[in-house]
Amino acid sequence: MKKISAILFVLCFSYSLQAQLWIDQRADELFASGDYSYALNLYMKIKSKKQKDKVNTQIGRCYLALKDYAKAEEFLSKVEKTEKSGYEYGLRDLGIALLYQGKYEEAETAFRRFQETGFNDPLMTVYFQQCDTGKKRPRPDGRIRFVKTTFQSGGFYLGSTYVNDQWLYTTSRPQANSMQQFDYPAYGLSAGKWSGHELKTDSVFQRNFTRFYLSSPSYDPSSGVLYYSRNVSNVKISKKKKLTKHHLPADKVNRLQIFSVKYNSLSNEEIEFVHNNPSFNTTHPCIWNNGNTMIFASDKPGGYGGYDLYVTYKVGNTWSIPTNLGSQINSIGDDMFPSVWGDSVLFFSSNGRPGLGGADIYKSVILNGNFLSPQHIGPGFNSSYDDFGLWMIDKRHGYFATNRTAPPGYDEIYGFELPEECYEGRGMVIDKLTYKPMKDVDVKIYRGDSLLAVVKTDENGFYFYPCFYMDMEYEIIPEEPKYRADTMYVVPRVTKLKELNMYMTPIVERNMVFTFNDILFEYNKADLLPESKLILDRLADLLKESGAKVELSAHTDCRGNDSYNLKLSQKRADSCINYLMSQGIPKSNLIARGYGENRIKNHCTNGVICSEDEHAINRRVEIKVLDVR
């Protein structure tokens, strides 16, 4: 009886050991294929103490891939023999799990421990930069409003597109596998409409294309074609002899590829993207430029990191050879979820740049077909978690996906409202007759009937207004006693906001005196210089408008012979009068007077030493209004 019991024990132990080995092998196989949920389920069944470090590492990696960062931290922290070959990357993954939870100091410690093992990761510099940035705790722009929407995907958010007024998006519907061992998500398409931040689902349109992942729908309204990516096979894994039957490559990985179909006839046959390849993923199609351009993500060999963004152009009925967008856009990490707004801005997500951790959202301006240097769009949009999939619905409103507040394995949609774009404007207020800047002038800024502000010009005649909104229209009116001004109409999109110069015309009244120090003559002569004629032209316009009768007097400084200066000043006054008459001013309205040095305005009389600037004050032409009609 004891012998039989011993045999039964050996048989049971042998069977148990074989089962453990099968589970171990199967779990590794599923992990390598990217089936982390199934792999996690099997790793959890392994009870071998000798394998505990490996099991804890792999369980942690599964949770990390499934975006359960707290669980990933829990299991990766249990790994004891991190120095043993093969487990060092568990320290890196522990650092990532901590980083993605915003535990920047602890993440930094884990990354330094990983470096001490002698192993390396190309992204390590980026991880340290993300820790440094995160420790500074940057705050969102308080002017931007963020709201969590009512969107419930049931799993990961895998992209969306607009078809007419419907929002077409991917959603998860769990289904059990054939052995009923556990549930896994199948992703299909659903439609709905946004009402503010509430998603109202349209139950009429729901469709699955695959048992597994269907992602990133992108609609071309010019052709009515819907593009998307999906798994190429309906099985997770296959025996070698059945790879061709199950549409799997030699490495058995069920990758994502791009397909298209006529939207209004989804029963039609799918069209496979010409540049699909079973050896790598081709996913996240983004159609723009009236259907003539596609940006997509791929981990094909020859890129800069994991997934890179590529662009291809419609040529007849096919697509051109894809071009990598280059190191200007792509990083050493994953660059994914492209979307283009207005054919002028590319939004995408990257975990290979020094952001806040996880995937962060960046934007690149598209100029003449070129993609300019990407800009991190800041905290609020970005966090230590994964933030991605941003799309705009108009110039100030849009949505993006994040898992910052979602349960593990789920994503949520946040809506945002940008502040109205505003730009500063500045200009001068100038006397239209003398062309001199005018200080202490009230400048009134109106939008419609509303007075927005009253700003004053400074000592040099400048004024400043800090916020002209891009899509508004404004009126600017300067006000000053005894002057009038035309209204300036400002449309920020087309108006040069740094050149808002305005001119004020004097209101001519009896006994007014206008002084000019810039009506100049040939040296020692009465001949007008060309620039002086421009000034007299403005004076002629004012005299025509007002019908004023004026005395024009010319003055010199004290230097030179008194009698000579008197005669020269008279000739210069006459010269000015003659020019005004040539511009249509009646002689009866003009009187010329030369005063020489008889009316000095400062202390610079005969025998007094003065500077050139002080003498210049006395060399002038004055216009005194004698009468106004």
In tens, the pLDDT along 243-254 reads: 665 566 666 677
The whole-number pLDDT of residue 600 equals 92
Do 427 and 462 contact (CB within 8 A), yes or no? Answer: yes
Strand-pairing partners, residue 172, are 187
Q: What separation in angstroms does the CA of 479 have from each of 31, 425, 464?
A: 76, 18, 15
In sign, the C-alpha dihedral spanning 94, 100, 102, 108 is positive
> Has residue 182 got a pLDDT over 70?
no
- The DSSP output letter for 321 is P
| Neighbouring residues of 52: CB distance < 8 A, sequence distance ≥ 6 | 78
The whole-number pLDDT of residue 315 equals 93
> Has residue 232 got a pLDDT over 90?
no
H or E stretch covering 286: strand 282-288
Give the whole-angstrom CA distance, residue 463 versus residue 457: 5
The whole-number pLDDT of residue 102 equals 94
How far out from the chain centre does Cα 551 lie?
62
Q: Which amino acid is at 25?
A: Q
Q: What are phi and psi of 133, to 5 degrees?
A: -65, -45
Reduced to 3 states (helix: H, G, I; strand: E, B; else coil), residue 521 is: strand
Reduced to 3 states (helix: H, G, I; strand: E, B; else coil), residue 497 is: coil
Give the whole-angstrom CA distance, residue 61 versus residue 74: 11
Do 626 and 550 contact (CB within 8 A), yes or no? Answer: yes
Torsion of CA 603, 604, 607, 612, to 10 degrees: 150
Q: What separation in angstroms does the CA of 165 have from each of 3, 147, 535?
A: 77, 22, 62
- The DSSP output letter for 382 is B
Q: How many other CB atoms are found less than 10 A from the CB of residue 60?
A: 26
H or E stretch covering 543: helix 530-546
Closest CA to 471 of 520, 418, 518: 418
pTM above threshold 0.85:
no
Give the whole-angstrom CA distance, residue 602 versus residue 581: 32
What confidence tens digit (pLDDT) does each residue in 32-75 have? 877 888 889 899 988 877 888 889 999 999 999 999 999 999 99
The whole-number pLDDT of residue 231 equals 81
User: What's the token pair of residue 70?
Assistant: 């707290």
| Neighbouring residues of 367: CB distance < 8 A, sequence distance ≥ 6 | 344
Reported confidence tier of residue 22, pLDDT bands at 50, 70, 90: low
What confidence tens digit (pLDDT) does each residue in 564-610 have? 999 999 999 999 999 999 999 999 999 999 999 999 999 999 989 99
Give the whole-angstrom CA distance, residue 368 versus residue 327: 18
Q: Using DSSP bridges, classify how beta strands 422-431 and 502-506 pair: parallel, antiparallel or unpaired.
A: parallel
The whole-number pLDDT of residue 205 equals 56
What confidence tens digit (pLDDT) does each residue in 471-521 have? 789 999 999 999 998 899 998 888 899 999 999 999 888 998 988 888 877
> Has residue 13 got a pLDDT over 50?
no
Q: How many other CB atoms are found less than 10 A from the CB of residue 265?
A: 9
Residue in the structure block whose two tokens are 């240097």: 373
Reported confidence tier of residue 264, pLDDT bands at 50, 70, 90: confident
User: What's the token pair of residue 245?
Assistant: 């039957």
Give the whole-angstrom CA distance, residue 309 versus residue 161: 19
Of 356 and 211, the structure prediction assigns the larger pLDDT to 356
User: What's the token pair of residue 603?
Assistant: 């202390």
Q: How many other CB atoms are found less than 10 A from the CB of residue 172?
A: 21
Do 188 and 208 contact (CB within 8 A), yes or no? Answer: yes
What confidence tens digit (pLDDT) does each residue in 272-309 have? 999 999 899 999 999 999 999 999 999 999 999 899 99
Averaged over 421-445, what is the pLDDT? 92
Reported confidence tier of residue 234, pLDDT bands at 50, 70, 90: low
Q: Which amino acid is at 408?
A: P
Q: What are phi and psi of 499, to 5 degrees?
A: -135, 50
Give the whole-angstrom CA distance, residue 173 versus residue 159: 16
Residue in the structure block whose two tokens are 């505990």: 52
Closest CA to 171 of 147, 220, 205: 205
Helix 36-43 to helix 2-33 angle (10° resolution) is 160
Reported confidence tier of residue 238, pLDDT bands at 50, 70, 90: low
Do 347 and 324 contact (CB within 8 A), yes or no? Answer: no
Do 228 and 217 contact (CB within 8 A), yes or no? Answer: yes
The whole-number pLDDT of residue 212 equals 67
Closest CA to 99 of 284, 333, 298: 333
Give the whole-angstrom CA distance, residue 22 versus residue 545: 103
Q: Which of 18-22, 436-440, 538-542 has the lowest mean pLDDT?
A: 18-22
Looking at the chain, the number of H-run helices and the number of E-run strands are 10, 34
Q: Which amino acid is at 243?
A: L
The whole-number pLDDT of residue 174 equals 61
User: CA triplet 183, 187, 192: central angle to 5 degrees?
Assistant: 130
Question: Could you give the domains of the chain?
Answer: 2-135 (1.25.40.10), 145-417 (2.115.10.20), 422-506 (2.60.40.10), 513-627 (3.30.1330.60)
> Has residue 369 got a pLDDT over 80?
yes
Averaged over 226-235, what is the pLDDT? 82
Q: How many other CB atoms are found less than 10 A from the CB of residue 352?
A: 21
> Has residue 210 got a pLDDT over 90?
no
| Neighbouring residues of 407: CB distance < 8 A, sequence distance ≥ 6 | none
The whole-number pLDDT of residue 11 equals 37
Give the whole-angstrom CA distance, residue 390 versus residue 375: 14
Closest CA to 205 of 150, 164, 257: 164
Averaged over 332-361, what is the pLDDT? 95
Averaged over 190-204, what is the pLDDT? 81
Q: Using DSSP bridges, classify how beta strands 442-447 and 450-456 pair: parallel, antiparallel or unpaired.
A: antiparallel
